[in-house]
Amino acid sequence: MGATEKKGEGKADEPKAEDEAKKKAEAAAAAAAATKREDDRLLVDVPAQVALIERSAATKDPKAQNRVLRHSSAIRRKLTAQAVRNAIETFIPEGHPLKPLLATAAAKVPEKPPPPAAAGAPAAAAAAGAEMDVDAQAAEKRTAVCMEVEAYICVLLTTLLIDAKLLDDAAAVSSAAFARVQATNQRTLDAMGAKVYFYYARAHELGGKLASIRSALLRAHRTSVLHHNGLGQVVLLNLLLRNYLQHSLYDQADKLVAKAGFPESAPNNQLARYLFYLGRIKAVQLEYSESFSCLLQAARKAPQRAAVGFRLSVAKLTTIVQLLMGEVPSRSALQQRELEKPLRPYLQIAQAVRIGDLAHFKHVMETSAALFHADRTHTLIVRLRQNVIRAGLRNINLAYTRIPLESIWHKLKIDRLEDVECIVAKAVRDGVIDAEIDHAAGVLISKEVDDLYATLEPQLAFHKRTSFCLNVHNDAVKAMSFPPDAHKGDLEQEEAKRKERLREEAELAQSLAEEDDDEF
Amino acid sequence: MEAKLRTAVTLFEAFKKEYDSPTCDVDKCTAMLNTLKLRMTEFTSLPPFSGPASPTMQQELMLAREILEHAALLSIRMRDIPAFERYVAQLKVYYNDFATALPMSQRQYPVLGLNLLRLLAQNRTAEFHTELELIPPALHDANIYIKYPTQLEQYIMEGSFNKVLNARADGLYSREGEYFMSMLTETVREEIATCSEKAYKSMSAEHACNMLMLPTLPELSAYVEQRGWTMSNGLITFKQSSDKVLELPSMRLIHETLSYAKELERIV
């Protein structure tokens, strides 16, 4: 208990009366079992977060707000309905347009079932909560609430409702919050507003009403572009892309990407998301190498430890796209620590494509069809069939200088003999193999492999790598940040140095001129 | 509103009768279609509509959808591909956005399948796949109208051109698909020709006829001329891409080297 009290006292800017209230609440809850303490601390936690947000809004310093947002996932895990109800009571003033909606929605959330040891706890906690409400209202009597706090409470409530599977209420609350945020033009609201947008879309997605919010999101995106609200812009862009891709509207998504720019200042997580969506779009449109580079970047920008689900999706898509490009993904990429097991079907596919075994490929496709459908990679995997044939063809081409088409037919298990000739011809045209067909003799003659170093290939590779390194360097220079006024102190010194240098140069010039004179 | 709808329905019935009759007069159909389209503009609940839905909304939407479907099919008969493309674009609104509000149209998949066939015939593979993604994956194998173009696409991609030709003989689409299939044959022939150029040095005329699906020798010789090949003694020789002498792309190299110099200058 001591720790929590200290925390309360440590906050100098909180009124004494609230401390009293907390102490009372905690005293009542102290009777409950030890497991209940966690929740009680949250009763304190939410006001503390709100105080941070208020301070950040007043000083226009986004750091404190960012800190709150960073903790949001930890808070979400521990959040209780009572904590949110208290927060609504305390911080949203009477007569506020959202108050009735928020209060009724919050009232619907059932308390988490307490562990059996603490059977008496809920009653005690409820009593404590009620007591605190009375005190808090008497003490604080908030007459106004700043938009940031309002948005924060709405976000908390929405997450609570989503976790409690009350999706309709979550959608209603988030829609209301969305409308409020839209109506406000305040730069300090950007970060919190982005959160509101996100949960607005999330609540609707889980409720299966994704299509209905599309135009609202588009409108919000336009507004945030006009307001130079970079964060809102990227979040909304990603939400829109997700929205389109969920409905397989690749055409619209592609057009959106082409028209809407992606601000450079975007945080890495959003950038990773964006690149993933972009990779998906490009993969569907058969632009595999572009898709691959997007996905690669997405994997690099994504958090390296957390976000397993995201990394898994990226890894799955990357594997398929790489195979479609005719490359074989490295084994280590498919055997990362947490991802190894879910990636196993993809590993099997990769193996089948590598060896060029059509039967094995078909077998894997059939056994894991449900998984591929769920991952929405099935249509891409279907396209791999030709790559399997070609991989087999390439192996044959490397091993034999001259082979009858009939043997190829047997080896690759192609349906009909007549097809073999065309398939081989197409592989030659696409540059998969370097060979020639002699129709009269019915054989495939491999051409000798040229010396690669006699071509321009190494030079191209060199250029590619050099420009990559130079780009990395330039990006690093651009990304360096300096404290705003650090250079000012040096300025005078620099000025003095510059004068000194100028003087020296002038002297030198003079002496040189004199020497010249001497010579003549 | 009711009255307008009723006149449109009667007009449409007449149109359908003409359209379905074996001796269909295309010009007459087009004229009727134009009046129908004018009637359609008077419907208040068609997209993009705003305001409250009228009580006859569902009927209006259904009728409009059917008219557009027929219009799309008619435009194929008239070999007007841009018009077909436009009608399909309009129809997609009904198929996607009103999917829950309206009962499924029995012509939906035939029309979408024809659209896929069109994209394939025009060699617009990226768009083909974009469109294909819109169709639920379960139907790719189950629905015959969708399976047909997807199968064809796979054959083309792997190079089994013979199968494409055989599929044409199956003739899923009796009237409308025929036009696209002949377009597709053209596309496939071009593919085969470019493949052959690369893969063969020479080829007997007989085999070439077979491969290129050209029934007679004169047709073949015309085609050979058009591609710039040479034919003598029943043997076609493809124009060999003579071994290119390795040429230094000097301008590019200069450009690249200068850019390295510039960048290095900036770093040091």
Domain at A441, CATH number: 1.10.10.10
Residue B218 in this model has a pLDDT that exceeds 60: yes
Q: Are residues A296 and A366 in the same domain?
A: yes
Query: Same domain for A340 and A200?
Result: no
Residue A435 belongs to some domain of the structure: yes
A286 touches chain B (CB under 8 A): yes
Which amino acid appears at position A195 of this protein?
Answer: K
Whether B206 has a pLDDT exceeding 60, the answer reads yes
Task: Report if residue A310 sits inside a domain.
Answer: yes
- Model pLDDT for residues A426-444, shown as the tens digit of each residue: 888 888 888 888 888 888 8
Which of B88, B123, B129 to mutate to test binding with chain A, by most A CBs within 10 Å of its CB? B129
User: Do residues A346 and A415 both lie within one domain?
Assistant: no
- Report yes or no on A502 lying in a domain: no
| Residues counted in chain A | 520
- Contact list in A for residue B192 (CB cut-off 8 A) is 422, 425
Residues A201 and A333 in one domain: no
CB A302 within 8 A of CB A272: yes
Q: What pLDDT is stored for residue B255 in this prediction?
A: 93
Residue A105 belongs to some domain of the structure: yes
Cβ distance of B159 and A419 shorter than 8 Å: yes
Q: What is the mean pLDDT of residues B74-90?
A: 87
Taking CA atoms, what residue in B is nearest to A434? Answer: B199
B51 has pLDDT over 70: no
- Same-domain pairing of A358 and A427: no
Instruction: Flag whether A138 is in a domain.
Output: yes
**What one-letter code names the amino acid at B165?**
L
Nearest Cα neighbor of B1 from B66, B67, B53, B77 is B53
* Token duo for residue B160: 């089994």
Give the pTM.
0.76
Burial degree of A387 (CB within 10 A; 0-12, 13-18, 19+): buried
Q: How far is A484 from A331, CA to CA, in rounded Å?
A: 47
- For residue B155, is pLDDT > 60? yes
How far does the CA of residue B48 sit from the closest CA of chain A (Å)? 13
A31 domain residue, yes or no: no
The pLDDT assigned to A425 comes to 86
Show the domain range for A59.
37-111+133-209
Q: Which residue shows structure tokens 């329905």?
A: B9
Nearest CA to CA, how far is B203 from chain A (Å)? Answer: 7
Q: Which of A354, A382, A410 is the last residue of a domain?
A: A382
Give per-residue burial for B215-253: e unless 16+ CB within 10 Å, then b: eeeeebeebbeeeebebeeeebebeeeeeeeeeeeeeee
Q: A344 with A434, same domain?
A: no
Whether residue A162 sits in one domain with residue A52: yes
Which residue among A248, A378, A440 sits closest to B134, beta carbon to beta carbon? A248
How far is Cα B72 from Cα B75, in angstroms, rounded to an integer? 5
Residue A12 is predicted with a pLDDT of: 38
- For residue B137 the two structure tokens come to 């994956």
- Inter-chain residue contact B192 with A418, CB threshold 8 Å: no
**CA B68/CA B15 separation, integer angstroms:** 12
- Give me the residue label for tokens 């359209």: B19
Residues A273 and A378 in one domain: yes
DSSP A109: S
**pLDDT tens digits for range A159-185:** 888 888 888 888 888 888 888 888 888
A287: phi then psi, degrees, rounded to nearest 5: -95, 80
- Residue B168 tokens, joined: 């044409």
The answer to whether residues A204 and A72 belong to one domain is yes
Q: Do A423 and B163 count as a contact with CB atoms less than 8 A apart?
A: no
Rounded to a whole number, what is the distance in Å from the CA of B133 to chain A's nearest CA? 6
A370 with A440, same domain: the answer is no
Tell me if B162 and A422 make a contact (CB, 8 A cut-off): yes
The reported pLDDT for the residue numbered A7 is 38
Q: Tokens 């009124």 belong to which residue?
A: A15
The DSSP bridge partners found for residue B202 are B237
Sign of the torsion angle spanned by Cα atoms A202, A207, A210, A216: negative
What's the pLDDT tens digit per position in B92-145? 888 887 777 778 888 888 888 888 888 988 888 888 998 888 888 777 778 888
CB atoms B162 and A211 under 8 Å: no
Judgement on whether residues A53 and A175 belong to the same structural domain of the protein: yes
Given A159, A192, A209, the domain boundary residue is A209
**Which residues of chain A fall below pLDDT 50?**
1-22, 24-25, 27-36, 114-139
Q: Are residues A203 and A301 in the same domain?
A: no
- Does B159 sit within 8 Å of A422, measured CB to CB? yes
Do B154 and A382 count as a contact with CB atoms less than 8 A apart?
A: yes
Where does a domain end: A184, A209, A234?
A209
A409, part of any domain: yes
Which residues of chain B lie closer than 8 angstroms to A429, CB-CB?
194-195, 197-199
Write the residue in A284, A383, A418 that is nearest to B130 by C-beta. Answer: A284
Domains in chain B with CATH codes: 3-201 (1.25.40.990), 202-268 (no CATH)
pLDDT tens, position by position, A25-51:
454 444 444 444 555 555 557 777 787
pLDDT of residue A319: 92
3-state secondary structure of B171: coil
| CA dist., res. B121 & res. A38, Å (int) | 66
User: Looking at the DSSP assignment, which residues form a beta bridge with residue B231?
Assistant: B236
A335 domain-assigned: yes
HEC states along A405-416?
HHHHHHHHCCCC
Residue type, A106: A
Q: Could you tell me how far CA A296 lies from the centroid of its own chain?
A: 14
Contacts of B126 in chain A (CB under 8 A): 285-287
Q: Considering CB atoms only, which of A284, A415, A425 is closest to B133?
A: A284
Q: How many domains does chain A have?
A: 3
